[in-house]
Structure 1
């Protein structure tokens, strides 16, 4: 199956490859990024390489799709977003994303997430899009609500990070709600 390349007004959503290892590491080694990510900050380029390899395996196994977010104007790799826990038979997935802090509060995440929602519902045929986030992650919560996601509740002890369990909030968006 060919990887779906998508575009928005300002962004290209592309397959994350070895060419992106250094940029991906630069983002995922930052504590302000991973603080609410559900994993600890990367400590080496090798860790970044293994994660990128896992993106490809997950895609090839039809269990998820992870896109790199690249600016059209400068060709800069600024983050990733994608579908986790993809289940085409059950018509559901969870969306996740992260963006380099230099690009926060400029509408890039919203622009990219809208395109993934469109693609997921229109082209894959999903019915449900979930999102899991830390209760303290106000920017992500505000974005999800702005895009029409509904808060469903708290998942107690759902995320494990920093040698401890954390609660998470679950959000969803259903295809008929668009």
Structure 2
């Protein structure tokens, strides 16, 4: 299966290849970005190379998809958006994203997530898109609500980061709600 490239008004969502390792490292080594990601910040570029290999393997096995977010006006790689726990036969997946802090609050993630949601419902025939956030990550869960996701509840001690367990909010968007 060929990796789908998605276009929006301001963004191009691309396959992440090894030539983007320094971009991935820059994002995943940033403590502000990783604060609510559920993992520790990267400390060496080899971790970014390994993550890109994982993205590729998981895509080939149809378990997940991860796009690089590139701004059309500057050609700058600014973040990623993707599908985790992709179960096409069960018509469900989870969405996740991260963005370099200098691009926060500019509508970039909204635009990227909307494109991926449309791809899920129209191309992959997904019925349910889930999302999991730290309760403290107000910007993320407000974005999900704005995009039509509904908060389903609290997952107690669901995420493990910084040697401790953390609660998480769980959200979902189902096709009938998106179609409305």
TM-score, normalised with respect to structure 1: 0.99
Q: Indicate the residue corresponding to 1:59 in structure 2.
A: 59
List structure 1 segments (4+ residues) > 6 angstroms apart after TM superposition: none
2:152 paired with 1:149: no
Deviations 1:58-83 (A, max 9, x none): 00000000000001111110000000
| Alignment of 1:38 onto 2:38 | yes
Q: Which residue of 2 aligns with 1:129?
A: 129
In angstroms, what is the RMSD of aligned CA positions?
0.5
The within-5 A match list for 1:151-166 is 151-166=151-166
Match of 1:12 in 2: 12
Q: Which runs of 5+ in 1 are unaligned?
A: none
SS in 2 for 1:124: coil
How far apart are the structure 1 equivalents of 2:133 and 2:72? Answer: 28
- Aligned pair count reads 178
Does the residue aligned with 2:89 lie in a helix, a strand or coil? coil
**Structure 2 runs not aligned, ≥5 long:** none
Q: What aligned pairs does 1:105-120 form with structure 2 within 5 A after superposition?
A: 105-120=105-120
TM-score, normalised with respect to structure 2: 0.98
